[in-house]
């Protein structure tokens, strides 16, 4: 299979080699995993640079990170199409069906996380972080670090097919929730303008949501491997 499989090429290959469709199906499942991991890594690689660019008001780096967003979207769209082809052509059941469904759910987590990080970079239009108190800057840096760690953990769960990864990631995600509360408490007692306070509150939520998406990706791995339905994520309101 190619590094970036074309779903239409899959169909043509199946027409030419009908007897090898089961072997081809296994290769296609491996391809969709690879595409998901690559898209997830593209997003994970932007968390640190975006956080640093935000804290330093580095508009050039922020714009460079924003410019990467269409690349993630293309990968995610390609992956969704590949999954639909598999569902239509192979009619998977049991664990194979769960596998494809879990990938479809996880690609949405990757795509939404990319959007959230783009919002962080875009917020430099309204705020100037270098002028903020160290306490606020340190909390934002901490949020970025935890969000990156948890999201990378979700990608790693797919790479390793680790059904147990979500347990540890949920614990780390609690740290993101706590840091979000700390930042909101600082804003409540601080001297920021209303516009700046609202922007920072949103940024805290963006990071907290990126961590949530990382946890959700790991839960989907556990779902397709074990059949245990993951709990409701509550992520529809990004």
Q: What is the pLDDT of residues 70-94, one digit of tens each?
A: 999 999 999 999 899 889 888 888 9
Q: Look up tokens 């805290």; give the residue.
A: 204
Distance of CA 124 to the CA centre of its chain: 22
Residue 234 has pLDDT above 70, yes or no: no
Q: How far are the Cα atoms of 68, 191, 216 from residue 166, in angstroms, in the given order? A: 28, 38, 8
Who wins on pLDDT, 226 or 2? 226
In CATH terms, the superfamily for domain 7-226 is: Phosphate transport system protein phou homolog 2; domain 2 (1.20.58.220)
Residue 6 has pLDDT above 90, yes or no: no
- DSSP-derived letter for residue 50 is H
Residue 15 has pLDDT above 50, yes or no: no
Mean pLDDT across the chain, nearest whole number? 88
Q: Where are the domains of the chain?
A: 7-226
Distance of CA 187 to the CA centre of its chain: 27
d(CA 11, CA 131): 56
Per DSSP, the residues of 117-173 read HHHHHHGGGT--GGGS-HHHHHHHHHHHHHHHHHHHHHHHHHHHT-TTHHHHHHHHH
Q: Quick one: average pLDDT of 222-232?
A: 83
Q: pTM (2 decimals)?
A: 0.88
- For residue 9, the surrounding DSSP H or E stretch is helix 7-16
- Given this model, what pLDDT does residue 2 score? 47
């Amino acid at each position: 299979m190619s590094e970036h499989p074309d779903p239409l090429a899959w169909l043509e290959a199946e027409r030419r080699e009908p007897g090898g469709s089961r072997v081809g199906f296994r290769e296609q499942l491996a391809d969709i995993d690879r595409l998901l991991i690559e898209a997830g890594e593209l997003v994970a690689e932007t968390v640190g640079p975006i956080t640093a660019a935000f804290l330093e008001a580095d508009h050039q780096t922020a714009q460079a990170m924003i410019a990467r967003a269409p690349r993630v979207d293309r990968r995610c769209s390609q992956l969704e199409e590949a999954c639909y082809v598999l569902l239509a052509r192979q009619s998977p059941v049991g664990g194979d069906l769960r596998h494809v469904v879990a990938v479809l759910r996880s690609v949405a987590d990757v795509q939404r996380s990319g959007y959230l990080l783009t919002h962080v970079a875009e917020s430099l239009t309204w705020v100037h972080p270098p002028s903020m108190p160290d306490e606020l800057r340190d909390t934002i840096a901490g949020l970025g670090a935890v969000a990156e760690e948890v999201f990378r953990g979700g990608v790693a769960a797919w790479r390793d097919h680790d059904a147990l990864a979500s347990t540890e990631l949920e614990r780390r995600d609690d740290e993101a929730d706590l840091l979000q509360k700390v930042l909101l408490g600082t804003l409540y007692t601080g001297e920021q303008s209303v516009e700046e306070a609202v922007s920072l509150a949103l940024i805290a939520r963006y990071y907290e949501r990126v961590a949530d998406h990382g946890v959700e990706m790991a839960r989907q791995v556990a779902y397709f491997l074990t059949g245990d339905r993951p709990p409701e994520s509550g992520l529809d309101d990004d």
